Structure 1
């Protein structure tokens, strides 16, 4: 056996030595026995080890700290990546039935378009789904906008039809929604029932700070305030059994107010809600005016750890991804062959940042069965599917490759560069903090057992 190239072993300030492997994301407190095996692994005869060290060696192998001599880890990463990229057993669609929105958020990267998806585009989506489910076993839908609930009837209609198609092909169906949360104020019980009926049982909703901050960022077109209505919507959704993933978009103007927002969530008995933070970025010309307020990735990484601590201190769950690193085959849906964003005109894109920009489309749902496919569509699609981190020398030799995979494909293609994940700036601190949390949990468990 041999050592993995993706190990990181170091001694913390308190003298405890820990080991992390980015191929498995295993984190372990280690001792002299671990290091004895680790440092001599190429020369060890397993049969001559005592039972304790054999068990330790097996655990080290499970954590990927040591691997088979013949295993090429980079090839393993490549295989996992290309398998994920070209796997064709499921279809993922992000559908924007409209790009119209009732908000005018200053950092929005989209160009608003009042058009609502017409019947011919809806029929084309159903035809595409029907054809895809003949060779696929799952359909995953994300409802998106603009604000998707401005086209609520289209969501109901398309959902019903797609679920029927999936049933006819014995395929699984799941759905998710990204909403600003405001229009739930008008929902009646039967509307909430439809969310459940059409399997929209989880959604992302955004609050950007306490009321005095949020109401300056998440703004109605008539400048009306939105915080209290959205908070009440979240509570109503949760009461109906719908999971809400709260998004807090972060830039230099609201980083100091996160704790106050979290306190409000605690006061409203929302500790069991998933909370994640988004780094506000000036992706497009539409939102370029806010670029001066954006945190760079290093700044965001430093704050992200503080946000994690604030969540943990208040009883929120924040020890798994995205707070703790996770293994990635692909960075996101944009570099997978069977995932698309569909706009109200039927144009298909690989990335949410391109929605509505027809020149970046990789197809149109009304034309996908045409033999004469536009060369422009083919070129656009090919650039996403041929983009890999393995062509970047900095990525190939990087310890973080399995948990970063080259960073955002949109940045890679638009800026001809790569934007490393936050782990490059805060991994050590995140791992040490995670170790401390887990150690405290073990102590608490032991104390409970003693008391019992």
Structure 2
């Protein structure tokens, strides 16, 4: 009889009276007895199959939960799967495009945790407060577009306006030119990431039609009490009610809104109060508004890490609350992503996150007002991380840097190649890994496995149906 081992990529999740086998290499899920779950709990140990029928052994092997492969052979097989997924991912990416126009690093707010805060200080010190001009926008779209996205039709390219704060009055002429261009070409969506305090000065730019800003992300830092303490204007004025008023205005203009609620150790305990307030505003359940929770995170020592909320603490709190009935939690947002796993019948790969986000994907770029080109919105403005530049109407790519970015996936991040949730995670944030460990190919786990398995458990138990997917989450997972 063959010797079988527990798969390196098997996860055993406890249910009330049974166990859920979740295979992180192919995505299949099977509910089994707690006794069998306990037998398969430790990866790569030999499995006692003496009391199993041939059909049971065959089923567990077919589903990938047990294997006769050596550990080296199983890792090699997993690596081959990852490389195949990456090839498919990059070929698909070449058929579309994503361009984030960082209009300037200027902002009217002074949030203590902002990763651009030090960049603004340095820019001001060295008089680098440049704003992207309408002329430069014209150059990008008419001269460089084909170089950025060869063979990609306009309708497959997504434009995102970014800053700083994109809707400062000093950007209005540039935004107008961008929207004029999109009105006359078949761009499908123009989005923006905004603090929401200035949009009332440019409401004509917003709406559901071509040539308008169709969707935005806006953030709240909890209830008014906490928000007006942390998300304040540069002149120290409160912003909560202004943002709420502007959300109403945008909804009236039929603009889709991703409402991000930033969580800290302090404001998490007032989530119920905030939820009640958002209900009173008729935001929760609104077809154009997607509310979700996101812990504040730091990369560049903007604030003390002790002030941040851990994933464990967040999950423990949310398990004891009813918030998730109204607002998407981090675990449920992941469950939204994984819902196709419920329909997997065979051992085909249902998990496809060979990489984490836009930083490792073809045809995804950020251009700032200086003409510097980046792959990550959190690294923009840090010149050591740029991968190209536009100067004198010419694009210069730094090819070695670009190749490095595109080579990061769960087969090149050493801890990930043996991780049982790697294809549900993608190796997590490269920018955070580089900032914390000074290594682009380090894994930034941050308790991701805990949250992923929590999401899988939720998905299986609730059998999520008709989920409202966050349309920014795939490419901008930290926003």
Which interval holds the TM-score relative to the shorter structure? 0.7 to 0.9
Whether the 8 Å CA contact 2:222–2:263 is kept in 1: the answer is no
Q: Is the 8 A contact 2:94 2:149 kept in 1?
A: no
Question: Match of 2:79?
Answer: 74
What is residue 326 of structure 2 aligned with on the other side? Answer: 315
Q: Secondary structure at the match of 1:225?
A: coil
Describe the superposition over 1:46-93 as per-residue Cα deviations: whole angstroms up to 9, x where unpaired: xxx8xxx9xx969x97x7768999993331122212442464222211
**149 and 305 in structure 1: CA distance in 2 versus 1, 3 angstrom threshold:** farther
Aligned: 1:84 with 2:86:
no
Partner Cα separation in structure 2 for residue 438 and residue 20 of structure 1: 15
In structure 2, distance between residues paired with 1:196 and 1:232: 22
CA distance in 2, matches of 1:429, 1:139: 34
Residue in 2 that maps onto 1:159: 179
Contact 1:411 1:418 survives alignment (8 Å) = no
Is the contact made by 1:85 and 1:330 (CA closer than 8 Å) also made in structure 2?
Answer: no
- Cα distance in structure 1, aligned partners of 2:320 and 2:106: 37
2 CA distance for matches of 1:159 and 1:66? 55
Superposition map of 1:3-152 within 5 A? 5-12=8-15, 14-30=16-32, 72-85=77-90, 87-110=93-116, 111-112=119-120, 114-126=129-141, 127-137=143-153, 138-150=156-168, 151-152=171-172
Closer, same or farther: CA 139–325 of 1 in aligned 2, 3 Å: closer
Aligned length: 412
Matched, 1:206 2:219: yes
**C-alpha distance in structure 2 between counterparts of 1:395 and 1:245, whole Å:** 31
Contact 1:84 1:330 in 2 (8 A): no
Matched, 1:380 2:401: yes
The normalised TM-score by structure 1 is: 0.77
SS in 2 for 1:321: helix
User: How far does residue 314 in structure 1 lie from its aligned partner after superposition?
Assistant: 4.1
Q: Of residues 273, 293, 297 in structure 2, which corresponds to 1:281?
A: 297
Once the 2 structures are TM-superposed, how far is the Cα of residue 439 of structure 1 from its aligned partner? Answer: 9.8
Report the CA distance shift for 1:247/1:367 in structure 2 as closer, same or farther (over 3 A).
farther
Residues 191, 311 of structure 1: CA spacing in aligned structure 2 closer, same or farther, 3 A cutoff? farther
CA RMSD, 1 decimal: 3.8
Is the counterpart of residue 398 in structure 1 residue 451 in structure 2? no
Q: CA deviation at 1:144?
A: 0.8
Q: Is the contact made by 1:163 and 1:173 (CA closer than 8 Å) also made in structure 2?
A: no
How far does the alpha carbon of each residue in 1:292-345 deviate from its partner, in whole angstroms, 9 at most, with x for none?
4224xxx22430463476465543455743356644132010111311111111
* Cα distance in 2 between the residues matched to 1:313 and 1:132: 40
* 2:430 corresponds to: 409
Give the alignment partner of residue 422 of structure 1, picking from 424, 447, 453.
Answer: 447
Task: Give structure 1 stretches of 5+ with no counterpart.
Answer: 442-452
CA distance in 2, matches of 1:367, 1:320: 47
Are the equivalent residues in 1 in contact too, given 2:206–2:212 (CA < 8 A)? no
1:235-254 CA deviation, whole Å, 9 max, x = no partner? 22223322211112223332
Cross-structure match for 1:350: 375
User: Residue 26 of structure 1: CA displacement?
Assistant: 4.5
Q: Which residue of 2 aligns with 1:196?
A: 209
User: Residues 291-302 of structure 1 correspond to what in structure 2 (within 5 A)?
Assistant: 291-295=305-309, 299-302=310-313
Partner of 1:303: 314
Q: Distance in 2 between matches of 1:433 and 1:9?
A: 14
**In the TM superposition, what is the alpha-carbon distance from 1:399 to its structure 2 partner?**
0.3
Q: TM-score under structure 2 normalisation? A: 0.73
The structural deviation recorded for 1:145 is 0.7
| Structure 2 residues not aligned, in runs of 5+ | 38-46, 124-128, 339-350, 467-479
